[in-house]
Amino acid sequence: MKAIKLIGTTTVIILTILSIVACNNKDSVSEIAYVIETNELRLQPEAQVITTNTIVTQPKTHIVEIKDMRFQPETLTVHKGDTVIWLNKDIVTHDVTETNNTWASPKLAKGESWKKAITKSDAYYCSIHIIMKAKLVVE
C-alpha cells in the first residue's frame, strides 16, 4: 500500500482530483479506495469487483421430422420460447397432439408443417397413429 503525507488544503485538492480521475476512467474495472488517517492518504486497489453478466439468447427454431411413422428426434431439448416446427415427410397424414389434449395441430398431409412456441415440457403423440410418441424437454 502506498502512503502520501498530506497537509491542509492539499488533502482536499488531491481527493478531488482522484475522484474526478476515478469517475472518468470508464475502462477501469477496479476503483481506488482511499482512507484518510492523520493527514495521510492511503491508496489501495478495491478489494472486490463484482460484475454480473446476463446472457440473452434469441429464441431458436427446431425441426421435428415426421417420417417412417416416427417423430425424429423422439426427444427434443429446447429453451422456453423456442419454436418447434413439425414437418411431415411421411407418405401418410399425421398430427401432433399433446398427451393431455391441451394443444394439437391440424392434420398434416405429406409436405405440410405446423409450428408452436414452446413454454413447458410436454409429451405428445400422433392421434391418428397412437404408437407414434415423442417429448419436448424445456431446460
Which pTM value belongs to this model?
0.61
pLDDT 10s digits, 24-74: 544 433 334 444 444 555 555 555 555 567 777 899 999 999 999 999 999
State how far Cα 136 lies from the chain centre: 19
Specify if 50 maps to a domain: no
In a shared domain, residues 7 and 73:
no
65 and 110 fall within a common domain: yes
Q: Are strands 113-117 and 83-88 parallel, antiparallel or unpaired?
A: antiparallel
Structural domains counted in the chain: 2
**Three cell numbers written together for 91:** 407418405
In eight-state DSSP terms, residue 99 is T
Its domain, for residue 14, covers: 2-45
Q: What angle do CA 105, 132, 115 make, to 5 degrees?
A: 25
Query: And the C-alpha cell for 118?
Result: 414452446
